[in-house]
Structure 1
Amino acid sequence: MNKSVQSALEEFHPPGPGSWSIDGAHFPRPVSRFQAEIHPQGITDGFLDCARRYGLLINTLDYRFVNGFAYSTVIPAPETEIPDRFAAAGSVFRDRIWRDDLERWDREVKPASIKTHQALLAVDPLELSDDELVTYIDRCRENLKRMVQQHHTFNLAAILPVGDFMAHVGRWTTLPMGDFLALTRGSAPESAGTFPEMDDLAEAIRNSPSARETLKSDEGGKAILNRLCAEAGTVGDAAKAYLGVVGNRLLNSLDTGEPAAIEVPDALVARIRLAVDQSGKSASTVPAEEVSRLREAIPSEHRDTFDDLLAEVRLMSRLRDERGFYSDVWAGGVMRRALLAAGGRLAAEGRIADPAHLVEATYEEIQALLGGAGGPSSAELQERATYRKTHRAESAPAILGDPPSPPPPMDGLPPDILRVMTGLGTAIQSLAAGPEAVEDDTTIIKGLGASPGTYSGTARVIDGTEDLRCLKRGDVLVAAATSDSFNIVLPLLGAIVTNAGGLLSHAAIVGREYGIPSVVGTRKATALIEDGMQVTVNGTTGEVKINSE
């Protein structure tokens, strides 16, 4: 990369007044310029909507990208809205308003989103004229903008019940919080990579000798998927239905600059093989004795309240990932499909080196390139792609601007809003919080025990989507972070270890849902663990041991 470009990119300046914290859990690497233009406004608008309805003293998050890295700062609620916020907070727990959000999600929002995504996917961008393709890209972009906002409109419904549960349990017992959060297991099947379409495909393959032989083939994943889709009758229909649901979801990111699942066919085939071998629907459940043991640790006078709080967490836990699956994760994949089609035309003309490089351009630059009116050079887009591929959040400043200030004291707040703010604070802290940096010895890496249990296996250090094809059943995934879209392949794993994240991070939630040991927030697992090492993951104590040969 040109040294002057490299130097400019690595200068980090706060994007505004205040203290800005990096978000390495959701964006562990720099995002594409295309995505950086879309995400901030959607997050801000979506968070503002739910903040008002739930009576938060926080107005929203101001979300910006600096050199491609995500940073945010909290914007307090305006003084003029405080009386209305107090009034709104009074109904949150009394009426359990998150249930209304879930009902609206199931009845209106989710079905409408599926319909919109499928309508866009029904258009083959390769068959469009140049002018029609520009119009189609604009439609996909507007859909993605709406879906980012939609995702964050449901933030409080997804995280407040579990934050409130954690705040109460933390006052009642000192047992590991990960053990209590594991009681939600089985309430969010899609977080464990289980879809009705997957179950239907697996059953169809079991009943078809030719499909079983196809699946056992040594051919590449793309050829196997094509052959399954080409099967007559039930198998072909089921394969197309499954790929229609998961194929155009982003696989390892919330960034359109990263591949969709269909671009990593070997990982999809491995997941299908696992489902077929399981001989039935895979549903993780919580043994009654586990619930009873942990319930006994709660003081007797609080056990009924514990039961009620846990029931609400179990009811709402699927929304944590669904609001991404059916919103920006899917819309991002649809958007990427359109941009790859346009990039393919530019690459065929020799104007860019790789179709995927088009996502490195801003929307204005994309319009210029497609209109033949200039735009960045092929070399410039290549430099941007190289920068994103070679930089990680661990190397960027954790804080920009002013040093973080302690949260304002909440003494004297009315009980309703105090409970709302405490639950929110607990949840947010648990999304990204890890242990303080410590000097680990050469064999033990410490983090947060997010999903209990112990597992030993081969470490697979996943740095990018291309590495996912190396995953084999029973491997230990070691990554900077995982996103909602990872769920398609996570069921293959024996354990999960991440640099970033807290007890409510994606890796923690999906680990608990699938019942596999998980340690998150290690800060430097990817630096200390080499691909192929044998490791033991203790999801109860939060320790990862590198086993000697």
Structure 2
Amino acid sequence: MATQQQRTPSGHRTPSGQPTPSGQRTPSGQPTPSGQRTSFPSPYEQPPPAGAEDWRSLYPYHVLFQPERRAVEETKFWFCDNQHWPTVLKPFETIGPELAAKCLGQFNTRYFLMPPANGMECRVHHGYVYLSPVAVDRDETVARVPEFLRRAGYYFEHWDTLLDNWKRKVLATIRELEALRFAELPDVQPYEEIERGVGLDATDALLGGYDQLLALCHRAWQYHFEFLNLGYAAYLDLFQACRQWFPAIPDQAVAAMVQGVDMELFRPDDELKRLAKLAVELGLEHLLTVPGPGQHTLDAVALAPRGRDWLDAWRTARDPWFNFTSGNGFYADDRYWRDHPALPLGYIRDYVLRLRRGENIDRRVSELVAERDRITGEYAALLDPAQRTDLEAKLRLARQVYPYVENHNFYIEHWSMGVFWRKTRQLSALLHRAGFWPGENDLVYLTRDEARGALFDFAAGWARGSPSIGPDHWPPEVERRRRIVHALASRRPEPALNRPPAAVTEPFSIMLWGITSERVRSWLAGHSTTGDLTGLTGLAASPGRADGPARIVHSPAELDLVQEGEILVAPVTAPSWAPVFSRIRATVTDIGGVMSHAAIVCREYSLPAVTGTGSASTRIRTGQRIRVDGTAGTVTLLD
């Protein structure tokens, strides 16, 4: 992404807070006399919400905007990644963005030598995650091409074999995570260890287990990015070729060329539909449509004729497909289907009710494939034979690698991270019982380094037979941090920080996050005092048009509020929200590009969607009637 300094028509530089040609100061992010902002706030000039003045004490130094680096940090354009981290991070949860930024960078910069992109710098500001792409200069981009083609080419040529190996590696990592145990320390070591001369105590496994927990999480995140950007690169290659052959081709037409493929990410939702159909077949639908489903529902089914048959199917689906969170796997308090049966049972209930009404609950895959083939054929017919052969080759590769772009979510964000957070909660509960913090899950208010210090304090107190320091030190500190996190959550984040570049050119920022020059201008216009109050513009993410009342959803906990016929408006959606799509008419998000999870899932579910609006979730209110045009990329406020 270009980040060069802007110039006025007279050639004078106007960085944040510096004198303009008239000699008057223009603080970063302030509107011009016309009411239009030309810059987002500087992170160094934006005060925190009341009650969060000491927020910086919660996070590791390397994810903060440091005062001594102001001259450097203010030259960069940072965008808020509320596509992946839509709510305030607790200290321990920074493991997500830290490892994501590190591992994305290693594969772009050191492993495959991606020509147009290095990694992403990551900062936490007021509790939210901000990213800035690391530029690759033109000479280095050209120099990387031969080695990238050699390295990436090997992966593309052996994609299926390497992907099978990837799945074995990930499943082995999950098994290692599952095997970790954080047990109570014994009063004394067993005498049998004396006889064997073990020479180690129970804290050796406890401290080593914590280190292993972090190491396995790091390993999983490396696997996350092993194939991911290659999937985006293959699609980008197809996209750029189509733009060259057909300059006026819509982004949606290129996206349609790869739609309708089988994805494991949709398997959890498919299992819900299968269980709903089986319930109707077995005559159990009356037990699965009662309000407030939960464990008692499963108990009632177990007593019903043929109920055991349904429960056998339930257990088969649960392991592994219910290792799925209603969120995105990046937060410690995400609720997983396998741990909270009320979540999948609620979705099954909706599907059973739809089946009773005679509705089709399956994805319209055949229609998607027919549309894909029609669009591809029409454009291919415009090419000469050599170009058509080139298009077919690029399409084969894009369709082969495209499923990974979504499938990795299930194995890493949902399954691997679900086990990681479960083990973290076990460790947190162990120290809670020892008096280290007031709540069972309060370990998340410590950084990872602080957590290891607290764990050693606990181990040392046990070893010497005297009280640990933690029960005196941590409870008030945890409560202080809890208050700060609550205060930070009272304010929505700025979509970006600092002066935007003259042009956004970094391809992955455009494709995944939807950070285009037009989007940045619309974000700035969204804060204009004279802007258009009748609608918003975004990216045309999934075709179609729908009218209806809006339902604002800021977190997965609010999904139960979504009613039939509403339009879902959120900072971002998660792939696991797919079962809710049976209730809604369209989707609108604040952030996301044509290859974002929200865009891909909506296209596969034939749901109109506009992404990357910047401020829809704050400008629209629940109940307000809106019109979503997913073909044009517009949202009209009808009330």
Common topology (TM > 0.5): yes
Moved more, 305-314 or 190-199: 190-199
Decide which of 333, 340, 347 is 1:271's aligned counterpart. Answer: 347
Report whether the alignment pairs 1:284 with 2:382: no
Larger Rg: 2
Which residue does the alignment assign to 1:417?
Answer: none
Which residue of 209, 212, 222 corresponds with 1:149? 222
TM-score by length of 2: 0.71
Three-state SS of the structure 2 residue aligned to 1:186 is coil
Mapping of residues 469-488 of structure 1, within 5 Å: 469-487=560-578
Residue-by-residue CA offset, 1:207-229 (whole Å, 9 max, x unaligned): 3323x222111234454356568
| Letter of the 2:594 counterpart | L
2:165 paired with 1:165: no
1:429 aligns with 2:510: yes
Q: Is the 8 A contact 2:58 2:481 kept in 1?
A: no
Residues 1:164 and 1:103: Cα distance change in structure 2 (over 3 Å): same
Aligned partners of 2:252 and 2:543 also within 8 Å: yes
Which of 122, 134, 137 does residue 63 from structure 1 map onto? Answer: 122
Query: Residues 197 and 462 (structure 1 numbering): CA distance in 2 closer, same or farther, change over 3 Å?
Result: same
* Mapped partners of 1:200, 1:209: distance in 2: 14
Q: Take 1:508 and 1:456, find their aligned partners in 2: how far apart are those partners?
A: 19
1:189 matched to 2:277: no
**Aligned partners of 1:463, 1:528: CA distance in 2, in Å?**
13
- Preserved contact between residue 538 and residue 613 of structure 2 (Cα < 8 Å): yes
Deviations 1:429-485 (A, max 9, x none): 122225322356444222111100112333221112211222345442211123455
Q: Which amino acid aligns with 2:497?
A: I
Distance in 1 (CA, whole Å) between partners of 2:158 and 2:422 is 34
CA distance in 1, matches of 2:546, 2:137: 49
- Equivalent in the alignment of 1:446: 537
2:482 counterpart letter in structure 1: Q
Query: For 1:59-107, what per-residue CA distance to the aligned partner results, in whole angstroms no more than 9, with x for missing partners?
Result: 43333434433233444679998897332234478x47435345312x1
- Offset at residue 338 of structure 1 (A): 2.2
Ranges in structure 2 where 5+ consecutive residues have no aligned partner: 1-49, 187-201, 459-467
CA contact (8 A) 1:461 1:529 kept: yes
DSSP-derived class of the 1:526 partner? helix
Where 1:62 maps in the other structure, the secondary structure is strand
Identical counterparts, % of pairs: 22
Q: Which residue of 1 aligns with 2:328?
A: 253
Segment drifting more, 213-222 vs 494-503: 213-222
Question: Could you tell me which residue of structure 2 aligns to residue 379 of structure 1?
Answer: 479
Which of the numbers 383, 402, 406 marks the counterpart of 1:300? 383
Cα deviation code 1:105-142 (max 9, x no counterpart)? 2x122233235425644778789989677665544433
Alpha-carbon offset, residue 386 of structure 1:
1.4
Answer yes or no: is the 8 Å Cα contact 2:269–2:579 preserved in 1.
Answer: no
1:188-267 alignment runs, 5 A limit: 188-192=262-266, 194=268, 197-198=271-272, 200-210=274-284, 212-221=285-294, 223-224=296-297, 233-262=308-337, 266-267=342-343
Q: Which runs of 5+ in 1 are unaligned?
A: 408-421
Instruction: Give the aligned partner of residue 5 of structure 1.
Output: 54
After TM superposition, list the pairs within 5 Å mapping 1:100-115 onto structure 2: 100-105=158-163, 107-115=164-172
Q: Assess if the C-alpha contact under 8 Å between 2:328 and 2:413 holds in 1.
A: no
Offset from partner CA, 1:140-174 (integer Å, 9 cap, x none): 43322211121122222220111112212223141
Equivalent residues in 2 for 1:354-373 (5 A)? 354-370=439-455, 371=458, 372-373=468-469
SS where residue 129 of structure 2 aligns? strand
- CA-to-partner distance for each residue in 1:356-405, whole Å, 9 max, x for gaps? 43222212333444524425333124224414543433x36x236x8658
**TM score, norm. by length of structure 1:** 0.81
Structure 1 CA distance for aligned equivalents of residues 290 and 129 of structure 2:
42
CA distance in 2, matches of 1:353, 1:137: 21
CA 1:68/1:485 → structure 2, altered by over 3 Å: closer, same or farther? Answer: farther
CA contact (8 A) 1:229 1:240 kept: no
The alpha-carbon distance between structure 1 residues 44 and 353, as it changes in their structure 2 partners (threshold 3 A), is: same
User: Does the CA-based 8 Å contact 2:123-2:130 persist in structure 1?
Assistant: yes
Deviations for 1:518-539, whole angstroms, at most 9, x for unmatched residues?
Answer: 1001111111221233332211
Contact kept in structure 2, 1:55 and 1:87, CA below 8 Å: no
The residue matched to 2:365 in structure 1 has which SS? coil
Task: Please list every run of at least 4 consecutive aligned residues from structure 1 whose deviation after the TM superposition is greater than 6 angstroms.
Answer: 7-11, 77-84, 122-130
CA distance in 1, matches of 2:87, 2:361: 37
Contact 1:34 1:363 in 2 (8 A): yes
Distance 1:457 1:198 in 2: 27
- Structure 1 residues 347 and 215, CA gap change in structure 2 (3 angstroms): farther
* Matching residue of 1:411: none
Corresponding pairs, count: 526
Q: C-alpha deviations, 1:166-215, integer Å up to 9, x for none?
A: 212223141421233133222143454655644553443233323x2221
C-alpha spacing 1:163/1:441, structure 2 compared with 1 (3 Å): same
Q: 1:50 to 1:252 in 2, by over 3 A?
A: same
